[in-house]
Amino acid sequence: MNIRPEHLSAIRNLGYTDTEARFLYLVATHSGYFTQRHYLDFADLHSGSGVHRLTTRILEHRHARATSYANNTQVYNLYSRRIYGAINKDNLRNRRFQSIEMIHTRLMILAFVIAYSDLDYLETEADKIDYFVRQAGIPLALLPCRIYHGIKSLANTKRYFVDRSPIFLPAAGNALSLPPVVTFTYCDTPGTSLFAYLTHLKHYEPLLRRLPDFNFVFASAEPYKFERARAYFTQQFGDDGRLSSRRLLRYFELRKLWETQHSAQLTRADRDFLRNTMRQFQAPNYQLAYEKWAAEGLSEQQARAIIQGSRSEKKGVYQTYLQREAFAIFSTESSRDYRNRERDRSSGRFSISVSTTCES
């Protein structure tokens, strides 16, 4: 991770050491929340004196607030505009109040980033949009997004990659032994359900299907989930036998009817089939095959060769990562819920809005 020297200098000027400044940069960029365990791991400390100095300082400076959860575990929310402004990230939503579920996810994300802090992350929404739209040529409409609807105003705001899941570009010979292609990470939270994971895959599906290659890392502190998570991913994105030459040619026929303003000829079943296969056949090689079919036609044998060629292409890998800490501290709280506390005037205004997913 390449942190700009001027950003580190700006945080140090607020009264922090170099190690503390690097840590606070990671917190502000990827999470907004941290525990003492996070700093101990980052600084490779075995005693609490160093983390006590950091937490005392950020509370005295009113750069963060603390909430006590189960086992008297303190969770710190880095909220001060002075920190975020110092690194030109004042518009990040990380500094705002979050739900318990979101805090839990952010703690897991930060733990992963600390374990692999040397990776080249796409840090912000703008960084991710720039990479996928400008550099990779992916349509903006395929990126995962949510629309925030203001309650007190009629303004709507569209935001992308709001889940903050780490996305990075691994170099050759990286610590995770991943191919050097864009890599997506899902950081799981405790519990037996994988519903949130399935929802995450659904939101990212249009983007993942359009990419020619990618890696996906499922990170969890509960290894019994690994096989189920892999099976779900393979079912969604792997070669599950549903591709066939006849399916591809039917997709071409229905797509042409739709694009040539003959949609009235499509039955309800045709429309459902077209909707499903549009995602399945988004890869560039299928787009080229469609253009060739429209101009010259394709035999079933030629269509079969296109599908076999797609299956034989080298793809990225699906990998699991065992996180060392589950942060299972939210079952009971040992202090009053922070969301019911009087608002700290230095924390900025609350964001009052509801959100919905964008239509793909």
Q: Which residues contact 19 (CB under 8 A, 6 or more apart)?
A: 42, 43
In a domain, 353, yes or no: no
Q: Establish if 8 belongs to a structural domain.
A: no
**Per the domain annotation, does 292 fall within a domain?**
yes
Whether residue 173 lies inside any domain: the answer is no
Q: Is the pLDDT of residue 333 over 50?
A: no
Pairing label, strands 33-35, 318-322: unpaired
- Identify the CA nearest to 102 among candidates 332, 348, 327: 327
Dist CA 87 CA 320 (whole Å): 32
Domain residue limits at 291: 245-309
Pairwise CA distance, residues 31 & 14, whole Å: 20
Taking only the tens place, the pLDDT of each residue in 3-24 is 899 999 999 999 999 999 999 9
Specify the number of domains making up the chain: 1
For the segment 300-318, what is each residue's pLDDT rounded down to a tens digit? Answer: 888 888 877 665 454 568 9
Residue 49 in any domain: the answer is no
Q: What SS3 state is found at 293?
A: helix
Is the pTM higher than 0.85? The answer reads: no
CA 9 to CA 12: how far, in whole Å? 5
Q: Kindly report the average pLDDT of the chain as a whole number.
A: 85
Residue 289 included in any domain: yes
327 in a structural domain = no
Which of 265, 334, 317, 259 shows the shortest CA–CA distance to 293? 259
Indicate the pairing of strand 74-78 with strand 64-68: antiparallel
Single out the residue of 78, 113, 84 nearest to residue 98, CA to CA.
78
Residue range 226-251, pLDDT digits in tens: 999 999 898 777 644 356 788 888 88
Q: Are 284 and 293 in contact (CB under 8 A)?
A: no
271 in any annotated domain? yes
Q: Rounded to an integer, what distance in angstroms lies between the CA atom of residue 326 and that of residue 323?
A: 7
Q: Is 225 helix (H, G, I), strand (E, B) or coil?
A: helix
Alpha-carbon radius of gyration of the chain: 23
Please state, in angstroms and rounded to a whole number, the distance separating the CA atoms of residues 179 and 353. 40
Confidence of residue 99 (pLDDT cuts 50, 70, 90): confident
